[in-house]
Structure 1
Amino acid sequence: MPPRGESRGRGVGGSARGAPARGSAIPARGGRGGGTTRVAHQAIPSSHITTVGVARPGYGTGGRPLPIFVNSFATTIPEGIIHHYDVIAPSEKVLPARLNMELMKALQHDVAPQIFTPRGVYDGRKNLFAARELPFENTTEARFDVSLSGGGADAGGRGPKVYKIRLTKVAEINPEVLKRFIAGDQSHDNAVLTAITALNVVIRMEPTMKYPFNVRSFFTDRETKDIGSGLQLWRGYFQSVRPASGRMLINIDISTGTMYKAGPLLHLCLEFLNQRDPNALSTKRGLPDRERLRLQRFISGIRILTTHAGADGTIKQSPRVVKKLSSAGARALSFTMREGGSMSVAEYFRQTQNRALKYPDNICVEVGSGALIPLELCTVPPGQIMRKQVPPEKTKDVLDFATKRPKDRLSSIVDGLSVLSYGQSEYVRQFGMYVDSSGPLKVQARVLKPPTLRYGVGSKQPTIVPSNGSWNMVDKRFFRPAEVTGWCVVVYEGQQRFDERAANDMIAGLTASFRDVGIRFPANYTPLVKWENGQGKIDDQLRAVGGEVVRRHGKPPNLIVVILPEGGSDIYTAVKHFGDITIGVATQCMKSSKCFRAKPQYYANVSLKVNVKLGGINTVPDPASVSVLTDPSNPTIVMGADVIHPAPGSDGRPSFTALVANVDSDTAKYIACSRVQTSRQEMIEDLEGMSAHALGKYMGYRQAVEKKAAHVAAPKRIIFYRDGVSEGQFKQVLEQGACAVHKIDAKVTIIVVGKRHHVRFFPQSERDGDRSGNCPAGTVVDCDVAHPTEFDFYLQSHGGLLGTSRPAHYSILYDENNFSADALQNLSFALFHVYARSTRSVSIPAPVYYADIVCSRAKNHYDPKGALDFSDSATQLDGSQAEHTLEAFRVNFKGLNDKQANLMYFS
């Protein structure tokens, strides 16, 4: 029986392809961990097994070898049967995992230790696993009454709450399935999933009992950072048991937890609002309602401790959960007494608790039971994770704390083994697991050769081979330069900060860059420059400037350059709505601080964006170096899709989807479309319509621009990259839907690109790394840490800058094109180099990167003067309100202007 609470992947594909004969057995490994770099396990899955996606056809061989470390540690598989129990608290709603863990600890240590010897491991939700069958009277089920000691009686004299827990045996797990699975002899089924879940619960049990935890990470106060606003950062450790080729591994990484600062709740609230006066939390003394609600969103759900006198005269501490904040102070708030009459909150605490408030005008917290408690009587216990979005102004602090150079990160991970203490864990020992702590896994990676890139006529270097993921535009002209037929500049920065001279310097820098890269523009053309007020109506201002350009030059501009002040995001959104949606003209925004006395390199980067927005092509991969993508007998369309969801707690906000695809034979020129859909739904609702639109654009461009005959304009291959999630309907929608619309017979390959994982690569010696200490761009691994049976690989495609680079994980769900491992790895690597906005290879294929950008810019499709709220703050709505709000987002979503539909407006 599969464990409840664990996600189960959906996939396409099903049966394994005819696999070659199995490779040799796993080579013997001398000693533990560390040793010499292991020879890759080259076994191919047995032909009888079924897989979620495509069964591995073989391993890649291209590229130069590179010995690396991976942040994984080998572990043994238990020998004995694992007993699986379902945990149910029938009378309770869903309880927090932290409380569930405390109840299970009390059950095993205090209530029934004779039954739980040795103790079982619990995931905090529905699953408990035991190394031996629990001796229940009726063998399969037992019920227990559990209360948490230490709380004593509550303020009303009632005893501690009793929780009723029922355990039911649901399955026996034979770990032998894992041994067969990692050897390629077992299908990926529920038995395998449940066994992996059990091992994960085993290794997480000890730290989860000791430290604050969050799903798969736990956090300690060994390394902390105060970032203000009532928040602290704690260093944490992520751990996950993963099957790999020939063995089980534990993937360990460092993580970051954002914690509420422990201590008096009053101090926490003052710090969040950046106030020092203890009376600042009084509405009577001027606390704005807006700030009170902002504070309420910040602390709702936080656990606090309140002190009160017990019936025996002793001082007790009771845990409470903050629900909301009162709108008035303790002295002004009154309630009806049980015995009749009313009393203010401040008077109640003075009379019944003998506690006169220091700040009686301050607001109170309302806890889950409905009681009102003054802020000054509440304490925040340590180690509470803030499970809300980090305030935007604190994002840099979090990144600084989380960012570690590769050498330092690996050192922290190895040091973390002492915190994880697998060897000392009673749970790990009793299940018979041994974790190799002698050192991180050593793997033989390969570094792929980058594609050759072609530039345009007049370039001193017509072709270039990137070096560690980067190159430059010196002495190069765009492959196909665009033309600026007319342009103007609108400045939203104050004229005292960005004056006429600054504007002229910017114009000179930009035109010099246009000239260098080949962008054509009219000679002796002086662009109109206008200073405008960002508080005004942006679209009216831009339309007026465009009209003045027509009066001066006889035709409208095809480029509007906009200079933004600091914090000009609202102006940016309005500008993009006007250009992309309303009127259909290219807009290029620049921050005044960036372009003030900017160097030529800055304007060269701006030119990269301008050229593709106007229909040009910056560079293309040389056909000889990426024949899989540019084979004229097999024209190929590459699609990238993504979905972006609203912030946690934001009810009624939609999700946005995007699909991006190339339209040219060189996979360098892309178009995009986006939609609004049901909130937090991963499946793309209109995938058929969006992909049909992309196919139509591809064939139209090939006929109109590349002059291909209609019968050869259609693609023969579709390579579809989806960001992060596998969907069961991909193949059917693409083949039976979008292709059928255009009468296309194309072979489909579907690849899921995963970024949310914790596998990291580290060079074994400094000489093998790049300047940042990371593995070089093009480092690929498809053995040792890859899936035992599925066709997948990890590829680190970009050169490092700050911190430790993250490789992307590629899982092939469906492959009618029967690509070899080398072919898919090389074509994916090539697509990292055609991202138009930079002269560096990027971390994921360009069409997926573009789809991510298009999703994040979905709010540009709404009238900036409209009433829809896009703020990051969470909104709590009931079901009908949320549905009504969602429908308003659907109705008001405006499509792209036809003039922009064939252009890379999103660059």
Structure 2
Amino acid sequence: MPPRRATGSGRGSSRGRGSQAGGGTSGRGRGGRGSAQGDPSGASDRSGSRSRGRATGISADVSRISASRMPDISEHISTIGVRRPSYGESGRHLVVWTNHYEVKIPEANIYHYDGAISPSEKPLPARLNMEIVKRLQYDIAPEIFTPRAVYDGRKNMFTSHELPFPDGAQEFSFTLTDRASSGEATGGGEGRRGPKIYNVRLTHVATINPEVLARFLQGRQSHDNAVLTATTALNVAIRMEPTMRYPFNVRSFFTNRETSAIGAGIILWRGYFQSVRPAAGRMLINVDISTAAMYRPGSVIEVALEFLNMMQRGPLALSPNHGLPDRELIRLQRYLSGVRVNIEIPGQSSVSRRPPRPIKKLTRTGAGHLEFTMRDGQTVTVAQYFEMTHNYKLRWPDIVCIEFGSGAIIPMECCIIPEGQIMRKQIPPERMKDVLNFATKRPHERLQSIRQALEVLDYGQSEYLRHFGMEVSPNAEVESIQARILDPPTLMYGQGSRQPTITPRDGAWNMVDKKLYRPAAINRWVIVIYEREQRFNRAAAQELARNFLGAFEAVGVNVTENDPVIIHDQPQRIYDSLQASGRRCIEKHNGKGPGPDLIVVVIPESSADVYQAVKHFGDVQRGVATQCLKSYKCKGANRQYFSNVVLKINVKLGGVNVIPDPRSVSALTDPHNPTIVMGADIMHPAPGADGRPSFTALVGNVDHETAKYIADCRIQTSRQEMIDDLESMATAHIEMYKKYRAVVEKKFPADPTRLIFFRDGVSEGEFKQVLEYELPQLKRALANNNVDAKITVVVVGKAHHVRFFPKRREDEDRSRNCPAGTVVDRDITHPTEFDFYLQSHAGILGTSRPAHYNVLYDENKFTPDALQALSFALCHVYARCTRSVSIPAPIYYADLVCSRAKNHYSPDGDFDLTGSGTQLASSDARGQLESYRENFRPLHEKMRRLMYFS
């Protein structure tokens, strides 16, 4: 028998494969986790008609609604969000390309089946499910599945004809291989048990009449489960062909036509995203290019050495006996866990023709020292076993081995990573620049790639699309649509400005001859340097102080102390060091008065732990503003650098940098309708990081100028998408708004009459949950403060693939993107609901991505023009720069607050919130989550009133 662990671990490799199920590419909790269709399994009524043949009274070529008028939406239809009131008209009109192709929808019925694959304790990965269903259709029952069904890799199967199942259901049992291959018994032990048998049960759940889609596109059908399921069916149909041929990840597939090796055992592949999207009067396919990180194919030894950056040391670097540190072994194990490998013994034919198996973990010792007991009672090492059984003497018996879910142990030199395996873990931070460089394409290059995508997608050759009656013209061109460029808001700066108001051009402006709208005052401040003195000496520190003083004076910040205390220290005990700097500051003033208002800290380049400790000290423990600077950036930096840093410092100290002129954004700053604007976001742990919490943030303005914000951050159950503590956070925000308005601004009545809630991080399939779970919390928060305000709820998402490209050179900005303020609310938007795309920022690199706004609830009855102008104005009050940003400032701030949540933990504690983490048993994960919850520290009371997060 092959070498195995003596434990009673799982016997089938399917368990290891199951650990790869799902998987994502970002630790962020962003929108777009489901497309418009959601998961329709079980959504349709089982009693639906099973009538055969073609639907009647419907033409697949649904008449396209003119962009110049609203669709004739029937009064009886229901919507999830707000029904579209009209189209916007303000701004300069232009025509743009967009990455959509029109598709003909089916005329015949579509049959929906629920697919259950067993046995499996966990959901199997979509890749394996696709292999199982492929074998079912092509080898096991081809007579039943002709024409072929389409399958989403999880639960949903759709066919263009009704399958001949008794009572609407049938079960199939089969293996993935015809017979056990020679060598399987010795290579993996499967020959002794026989190949694994899979049971596939298919159950008819609904018959879909495509007429519901046609009616929905014409505004005469509610967005119900039937529409949801029909849209899902079309998406599964267009993705079936590429997912059978290429590596895929939910809505994208990838080819090796264009690749880039970036080190760390990673190769980037270019791919294509595609998604069927409903629009007014027609159905569209959204096509875009995408990028995936793949494990480098080849020897596991070489990939491991490359990941650890030990290529020059050779294979023995992977041996604990030759100096491999335990922490590096653990890091390598996290990286390799779940990677599927083939077993190939040099000099022999393939040991097994079975599919690649996923790595469970690495052994702690090499094959030459790792012993196990054979069936006959003989104790041998793994190296001895391979020489006895396979007549192969290991070249590297000292390096660690690979263990599979079945318990089998294989020397690393006998394991090969096959090509085209998507890496579903977090990309190492030091490689992200390479990923961005590969993924970034200028607008005209991206548009050209999208046009060429039709050659790869080859819709005309897909048997699945033909069977379902879907059609994309082989000479199709990307859609040309109407857009508008909104006028930017006028911005107001402070007294003493040579130019007190400014209207931005091309999404940017500068601070020359301008004073901050409300500059803060600094009475005392200190500079603490944690960089080595050889790299940042006393002269550099004094130059730093002079540069800050010049930057403060230029924008109107009043600094009483021109010679701050400067301390060089070691970053071993941050709390004691910063405390000492505060005492030095007080001693300088003869022991009188408070400590410093501001602590400027210079840190080395790679010092995330130092940054966390500084922020924990300032934001949580002591309630003092801190500003960290990377030593290599601030040493010898120009005036612009310090001007940008001062923008952050001013709001941390309670100042206001700039406000929108009330006359230019009346919908936001109407004195008769005091408005509180909130932004909410959630950040989830990285893929595979079990036991870590999700963090939620709520940010809201307290002033009538919607420029001064406060924030709250909470912890909740891992990967839960709805915000649990929204009511308590919103209650505190509204209370703070009333106090600031009454006490500081002296404005009465102090109550807001409007609450605009911008929500980030939810997909379209979760809109209903926002209305059912979060909206009531907002209403209760208003009631808790005895406030009667009208609520507007807007979801803002950027996790989509919609792009716009100028048709004329005169409509391009300097990056060749559409100009800042480009808005699209027709042609590609929802058939019945109030949504729009706003590209509010100027392009810098690559192709700009517009934000997608979905209005879910609106008691304020905003017109499209008013809400679009309001949103665009909020993109101009982001305090950290003099540019309009891509999403409204309160959402951007909420994102910052979430990303800083780790600073609420003591740096002395054992709470690692970096990297992809480790998979844990459910009980261990729950215990670890509670530990995170108990040790989460709230903000210091002083910080609750300030923009500490800037």
* TM-score under structure 1 length normalisation: 0.94
Q: Is the Cα–Cα contact under 8 Å of residues 492 and 502 in structure 2 kept in the other structure?
A: yes
Alignment of 1:200-349 (within 5 A): 200-276=235-311, 277-307=314-344, 316-318=352-354, 319-349=356-386
Q: Is the Cα–Cα contact under 8 Å of residues 455 and 476 in structure 1 kept in the other structure?
A: yes
* Rounded Cα–Cα distance in structure 2 between residues aligned with 1:290 and 1:308: 29
1:346 partner letter: A
* TM-score under structure 2 length normalisation: 0.90
| Residue 124 of structure 1, aligned match among 143, 147, 153 | 153
Number of positions where the alignment pairs a residue of Structure 1 with one of Structure 2? 876
- Please state if 1:663 is matched with 2:698: no
* Rounded Cα–Cα distance in structure 1 between residues aligned with 2:879 and 2:352: 64
Cα offset, 1:708, TM superposition: 1.5
The SS at the match of 1:266 is helix
- Please state if 1:63 is matched with 2:91: yes
| Residue 630 of structure 1, aligned match among 644, 657, 669 | 669
The SS at the match of 2:427 is coil
Cα offset, 1:513, TM superposition: 1.2
Aligned to 2:455: 418
Cα offset, 1:289, TM superposition: 1.6
Aligned to 1:605: 644
Aligned to 2:569: 532
| Residue 689 of structure 1, aligned match among 722, 725, 728 | 728
Aligned to 1:21: none
- Please state if 1:832 is matched with 2:875: yes
1:482 partner letter: A
Aligned to 2:137: 108
* Rounded Cα–Cα distance in structure 2 between residues aligned with 1:814 and 1:872: 38
2:577 partner letter: Q
Aligned to 2:778: 734
Cα offset, 1:223, TM superposition: 0.2
The SS at the match of 2:663 is helix
Deviations 1:472-499, CA, capped at 9 Å, x for gaps: 0001001111111111111111111111
* Rounded Cα–Cα distance in structure 2 between residues aligned with 1:28 and 1:6: 26
The SS at the match of 1:713 is coil
* Rounded Cα–Cα distance in structure 2 between residues aligned with 1:814 and 1:800: 31
Over 3 Å counting, the alpha-carbon distance change for 1:313 and 1:445 in structure 2 is closer
Q: Is the Cα–Cα contact under 8 Å of residues 346 and 414 in structure 2 kept in the other structure?
A: no
Q: Is the Cα–Cα contact under 8 Å of residues 445 and 780 in structure 1 kept in the other structure?
A: yes
Over 3 Å counting, the alpha-carbon distance change for 1:656 and 1:216 in structure 2 is same
Q: Is the Cα–Cα contact under 8 Å of residues 80 and 223 in structure 2 kept in the other structure?
A: yes
* Rounded Cα–Cα distance in structure 2 between residues aligned with 1:86 and 1:382: 32
Q: Is the Cα–Cα contact under 8 Å of residues 711 and 897 in structure 2 kept in the other structure?
A: yes
The SS at the match of 1:50 is coil
Aligned to 2:614: 575
2:480 partner letter: K
The SS at the match of 1:287 is coil
Cα offset, 1:869, TM superposition: 2.5
The SS at the match of 1:864 is coil
Aligned to 2:22: none
Cα offset, 1:731, TM superposition: 2.4
Cα offset, 1:559, TM superposition: 1.1
Aligned to 2:859: 816
Aligned to 2:23: none
2:676 partner letter: I
* Rounded Cα–Cα distance in structure 2 between residues aligned with 1:143 and 1:677: 41
Q: Is the Cα–Cα contact under 8 Å of residues 236 and 256 in structure 1 kept in the other structure?
A: yes
Aligned to 1:483: 521
| Residue 97 of structure 1, aligned match among 110, 126, 130 | 126
Aligned to 1:457: 495
- Please state if 1:83 is matched with 2:111: yes
Over 3 Å counting, the alpha-carbon distance change for 1:875 and 1:27 in structure 2 is closer
1:200 partner letter: N
Deviations 1:312-349, CA, capped at 9 Å, x for gaps: 99854333221111111111112111122222111111
2:759 partner letter: R
Cα offset, 1:163, TM superposition: 2.0
Aligned to 2:73: 45
Cα offset, 1:309, TM superposition: 11
Aligned to 1:388: 425
Aligned to 2:847: 804
**Which is further off, 110-119 or 144-153?**
144-153
1:743 partner letter: N
Over 3 Å counting, the alpha-carbon distance change for 1:453 and 1:292 in structure 2 is same
| Residue 361 of structure 1, aligned match among 398, 402, 408 | 398
Aligned to 2:30: none
* Rounded Cα–Cα distance in structure 2 between residues aligned with 1:601 and 1:55: 46
Q: Is the Cα–Cα contact under 8 Å of residues 86 and 170 in structure 1 kept in the other structure?
A: yes
Deviations 1:199-249, CA, capped at 9 Å, x for gaps: 001000000000001111110000000011111000011110011111111
**Which is further off, 618-627 or 142-151?**
142-151
Deviations 1:22-58, CA, capped at 9 Å, x for gaps: xxxx99779xxxxxxx745621522111111111111
* Rounded Cα–Cα distance in structure 2 between residues aligned with 1:315 and 1:862: 50
Gap regions ≥5 residues in structure 1: 10-25, 31-37
| Residue 549 of structure 2, aligned match among 496, 511, 514 | 511
Deviations 1:715-771, CA, capped at 9 Å, x for gaps: 000000111224122221112x21111110000001111111111111112221111
* Rounded Cα–Cα distance in structure 2 between residues aligned with 1:7 and 1:706: 49
Alignment of 1:575-594 (within 5 A): 575-594=614-633
Cα offset, 1:8, TM superposition: 7.2
Cα offset, 1:793, TM superposition: 0.7
The SS at the match of 1:632 is coil
Aligned to 2:45: none
* Rounded Cα–Cα distance in structure 2 between residues aligned with 1:827 and 1:678: 34
- Please state if 1:187 is matched with 2:216: no
1:420 partner letter: L
Over 3 Å counting, the alpha-carbon distance change for 1:567 and 1:307 in structure 2 is closer
* Rounded Cα–Cα distance in structure 2 between residues aligned with 1:28 and 1:280: 67
* Rounded Cα–Cα distance in structure 2 between residues aligned with 1:583 and 1:125: 51
Over 3 Å counting, the alpha-carbon distance change for 1:91 and 1:860 in structure 2 is closer
- Please state if 1:595 is matched with 2:634: yes
The SS at the match of 1:570 is helix
Over 3 Å counting, the alpha-carbon distance change for 1:837 and 1:7 in structure 2 is farther
Over 3 Å counting, the alpha-carbon distance change for 1:485 and 1:27 in structure 2 is farther
2:909 partner letter: G
Q: Is the Cα–Cα contact under 8 Å of residues 267 and 294 in structure 2 kept in the other structure?
A: yes
Aligned to 1:903: 946
Cα offset, 1:149, TM superposition: 3.5
* Rounded Cα–Cα distance in structure 1 between residues aligned with 2:82 and 2:724: 24
2:73 partner letter: P
Deviations 1:620-661, CA, capped at 9 Å, x for gaps: 100110111111111000001111111111122111111110
* Rounded Cα–Cα distance in structure 2 between residues aligned with 1:642 and 1:313: 54
2:744 partner letter: V
Cα offset, 1:527, TM superposition: 0.9
Cα offset, 1:780, TM superposition: 0.6
Deviations 1:126-175, CA, capped at 9 Å, x for gaps: 11111111233x26222323332477432243554332222222211111
The SS at the match of 1:824 is helix
* Rounded Cα–Cα distance in structure 1 between residues aligned with 2:837 and 2:328: 46
Over 3 Å counting, the alpha-carbon distance change for 1:8 and 1:163 in structure 2 is closer
Cα offset, 1:116, TM superposition: 1.3
* Rounded Cα–Cα distance in structure 2 between residues aligned with 1:302 and 1:588: 42
1:683 partner letter: M
Root-mean-square deviation (CA, aligned residues, Å) is 2.1
Deviations 1:654-684, CA, capped at 9 Å, x for gaps: 1111111001111011111111111111111
* Rounded Cα–Cα distance in structure 1 between residues aligned with 2:682 and 2:652: 23
The SS at the match of 1:384 is coil
* Rounded Cα–Cα distance in structure 2 between residues aligned with 1:4 and 1:248: 13
- Please state if 1:751 is matched with 2:790: no
* Rounded Cα–Cα distance in structure 2 between residues aligned with 1:144 and 1:805: 49
